[in-house]
Amino acid sequence: MNKTLKIYIAILVLVFALILVADRNRPKPIDWRPTYSVNDKIPFGLYVFNKEIDGLLKNQKIERVSAITPYEFLDAKYDADTLVNDYKIKGTFLTISEFGGIDDQSIQEIFYFVSHGNNAFLSMKTFPQSLLDSLKLDYRADFQISDSTSFWMANKTVSSQKYHMTEGMGDYYFSKIDTLNTTVLGYQGNKVKEKRINFIQIPYKNGYFYLHTQPAAFTNFHLLKGNHHQYAQNVLSYLPEGDVFWYTKGQNSETISESPMRYILSQPALKWAWYLFLIGMLIFMLFNAKRKQRVVPILKPLPNLTVDFTKTIGNLYYQEGDHGNIIDKKIIYFLERIRNEYLIETTKLDEDFIKKLHHKSGKEEEDIRNLVFLINEHRKSYHGSLEEDLITINNAIEKILN
């Protein structure tokens, strides 16, 4: 190694060292991603909420649901016994997320859960369309929000305070509600924009839906900033007493697989059976990769002498002009096919025969009726048959057999 090369290597190492030192001393950039993960300590994670939820919902049992979909969780808790026909659990289903990523099947199960005297609290910036349609709601969304926007509770006895929050919030609100059944619980707005509804309660059969459009209020940033945590407490104060089933899937860095193999991979026995199958196929391919099949010679099939013989006999009959005999042979062949393929008695070609053949063969009833008429007419005829009769009966038979 010459001296010049050593100098170049030394300079390169020095440059890398300076880059590492400068990067280490540089402040780490803030991650503003709205992950809503219970494990994230970034501004828009739910780490603080996860730690403080027991204090926010005092004397209420909190069960976190993260491994399965809402449908799979709630359906497993349903007792389908005719004497019970109810859920084994009672309480409130709760979820906080950026967007409504709950599948339609789970939404239907949540509706069924609420209809049995339970509740659902959903805090999202956008809701599944199936949910909005079922509850007769119209929704508007504007990602930009004014710095002067405030959030407050509709019931002054709960709180008369207005909270100025902008980070992570958006102009999401309900533009149309069923005023006869819906109770407004919260608003948002400023001097320019009139107040807009962002928190509602809707009865559904024996339970209630609580829909809130500002999930960022429950994130680390707002729970730790000033008095913003009071707004989250005010919103959660409307939750009925009882157990809370907090759906955190998607909020703890997990996502619901859309793979058609999801169920197989979720069952240990099926998963290992699938893996063993794949391993076995791989081993089979490796051991057989070098094996080549020798060329298979092309063998001409033996000529069908029976067909040739039949053609010869048919030509003899045709040349002799014995059309009646040919018609008889065709009728015999047709009836034999019917007996063998459809197991239908062919002694009497009457209305019962026509119906049975129509149902079993699927052929048009009119075509069958026409053929039966021609056969019966031929059998009654005492004069010789013409070539036109042979062609007509042959075409009628071919319609049924083909």
Q: Give the tens place of pLDDT for each residue, 191-216.
A: 766 789 999 999 999 999 999 999 99
> Residue 140 above 70 pLDDT?
yes
CB neighbour class for 127 (10 Å; exposed up to 12, middle 13-18, buried from 19): buried
High-pLDDT (> 70) share of the chain, %: 85
Is the predicted pLDDT of residue 265 greater than 70, yes or no? yes
Can you give the pLDDT at residue 137?
Answer: 94
Average pLDDT over residues 54-64: 91
Q: Name the band, by pLDDT with cuts 50, 70 and 90, for residue 162.
A: very high
Q: What percent of the chain has pLDDT over 90?
A: 38
Instruction: State the maximum Cα–Cα separation within the chain, in Å, rounded to a whole number.
Output: 122
Domain ranges of the chain: 47-265, 306-401
Q: Which of 331, 324, 327 is nearest to 346 (CA)?
A: 331
Domain 47-265 has CATH 3.40.1000: no
Q: What is the pLDDT of residue 170?
A: 85
Q: Which long-range contacts (CB under 8 A, 24 or more apart) does 261-270 make?
A: none
The better pLDDT of the pair 379, 21 is held by 379
Indicate whether 295 pLDDT > 60.
Answer: yes
| Residue of 261 and 245 predicted with greater confidence | 245
